[in-house]
Chains A and B, each alone.
Chain A
Amino acid sequence: MALHQIQSMIRPSTLKEAWKAKAEQCESARFLGGGIDVVLYTPSSVTTLIDLAGLGLSDVREDVSGLMIGGTTTMTEAIESAAVKAYAGAFLIRVLKEVASPLQRNAATFGGTLGSAHPWSDVIPALLVLDAELDVYDGSDRAIGLEAYLEGRGNDVAPIICAIRLPGELRPARGAFATFTRTAFDVGLLNVACVGSIDGGAWKDVRIAVGGTPGLAARLRGVEKGLVGSAADDALIEEASAAAADAIDARDDLRASGEYRRILARTLVGRCLAEISEGSTG
């Protein structure tokens, strides 16, 4: 319902303006993307909202360096984008369709999703396995890897997310995604994102991220290393899946026990790897 603590809403038209407003008010100001998480989770200490919709950050573009998705692009805009469809076999679209409901996808932005970094996020593991980089602004323009951004949350001052960049090298990649929900309109007890390819019967690039453990998604680099260069057979997939189950920080919460999450991780990682492996034959 209404955020009674909010006294003003600023709608800047440049990044500089937006950042200045934030710098002036610090913790009592909050950036506004689609607004969903702002309505749901804004603490009573926040009195000013800074709407980023007027900054022209909702382009989706493809060029030689890869795919660029503007920070205020909505999930639906991405789903309907030809450039997103052409990238990694429409992997992102498959993931985005799992997120919440169409009503929320029509409003939720990429920047907002990353800014909130909910541990159950489906988008974050998908972007992690696509080696996402972020163009951010915090007084000046800079680039930061998604992992570094996520690690820095809480410590560093949160920058404005101007764009998400996905590398051109992964354009031909294939991905697999699984989120294990109770009903369809639900967040997962666990989710798994995988991107990779098989070359000459061996795993080439493999990227695996598991989220909702219930912790925030993270790449399983140890498991990835165990796969790269090795023969892509069922036995290896099973080994990797078992390793994935051990590698995650699985804990109990309202939705599931840590033990069940490990079982899920094993099963879903196995299925994702199998899907990529089968898709790559021939």
Chain B
Amino acid sequence: MTIMLRINGVSRTVDVAAGETLLEVLRREGFVGVKCGCGTGDCGACAVLLNGRAVNSCLTLAGKVDGAEILTVEGLASVERLHPLQEAFLDEGAVQCGYCTPGMLMSGIDLLTRNPNPSEDEIREAISGNLCRCTGYVKQVRAIQSAAERMRSGGDDCAT
């Protein structure tokens, strides 16, 4: 079946099989920043924004999201600069192997879009579906807090 997706602000038509997941389609279309860690929705590495909400792309049927707006990690930065959340991840040392990072960033963006001043507990809850084995989450939580501060004090140029 042919569907239309608007990925990182650019529309394209994509041929998909009826039973394909959004994760497979995105990676096939070249968005390899979207990672597969389990294929069963248990790790969150595949998270993307679907119409503004972070979801497991491995559990999303591509055929179901015809016409949807999708944001992947590749769409976070503008040509000139990184998103404040990406900057914060770098500065706080929140990236080790980086495999969980794209999904983690998506959950962070979803949170900060809706809640510009999240508490530590709210941050933890927002990333509770993103497993990381490298960092112990400490610096990731701090990075999201730091990004929230940057964004509140005028760090604009957010891609969403």
Question: Measuring CB to CB, which residues of chain A are less than 8 angstroms from any residue of chain B?
Answer: 1-9, 11, 32, 35-36, 38-40, 49, 51, 53, 76, 97, 100-104, 106-107, 184-185
Q: Is A35 a contact partner of B20 (Cβ separation < 8 A)?
A: no
**Binary CB contact string for chain B from 91 to 135 against chain A (1 if under 8 A, 0 otherwise):** 000000000000000010010000000000000011011110000
B146 at the interface (CB under 8 A from A): no
* 9 sample A-B contacts, Cβ–Cβ < 8 Å, listed by A number: A2-B21, A35-B61, A102-B126, A103-B41, A103-B47, A103-B129, A104-B59, A107-B60, A185-B128
Residue in B closest to A1 when the chains form the complex, CB atoms:
B39
Tell me how far the C-beta of B111 lies from the nearest C-beta in chain A, rounded to whole angstroms: 8
Q: Is A51 a contact partner of B44 (Cβ separation < 8 A)?
A: no
Contact of B129 among A4, A9, A38, A104 (CB under 8 A): A104
Q: Is A1 a contact partner of B58 (Cβ separation < 8 A)?
A: yes
Contact of A9 among B24, B42, B56, B61 (CB under 8 A): B61
Given contacts A49-B63, A102-B107, A106-B54, A36 and B129 within 8 Å (CB-CB): no
**Binary CB contact string for chain B from 52 to 95 against chain A (1 if under 8 A, 0 otherwise):** 01111011110110100000000000000000000000000000
Q: Is B64 a contact partner of A32 (Cβ separation < 8 A)?
A: yes
Question: Measuring CB to CB, which residues of chain B are less than 8 angstroms from any residue of chain A?
Answer: 1, 17-21, 24, 39-42, 44, 47, 50, 53-56, 58-61, 63-64, 66, 107, 110, 125-126, 128-131
Q: How far is the CA of A4 from the CA of B47 in the complex (A)?
A: 22
Q: Is B21 a contact partner of A36 (Cβ separation < 8 A)?
A: no
The residues of A that contact B63 with a CB separation of less than 8 Å are 9, 49, 51
Q: Is B40 a contact partner of A32 (Cβ separation < 8 A)?
A: no
Given contacts A39-B58, A102-B107, A2 and B19 within 8 Å (CB-CB): yes
Contact of B59 among A8, A9, A35, A184 (CB under 8 A): A35
The residues of B that contact A8 with a CB separation of less than 8 Å are 1, 18
Q: Is A5 a contact partner of B19 (Cβ separation < 8 A)?
A: yes
Given contacts A9-B18, A49-B63, A76 and B53 within 8 Å (CB-CB): yes
Q: Is A36 a contact partner of B41 (Cβ separation < 8 A)?
A: yes
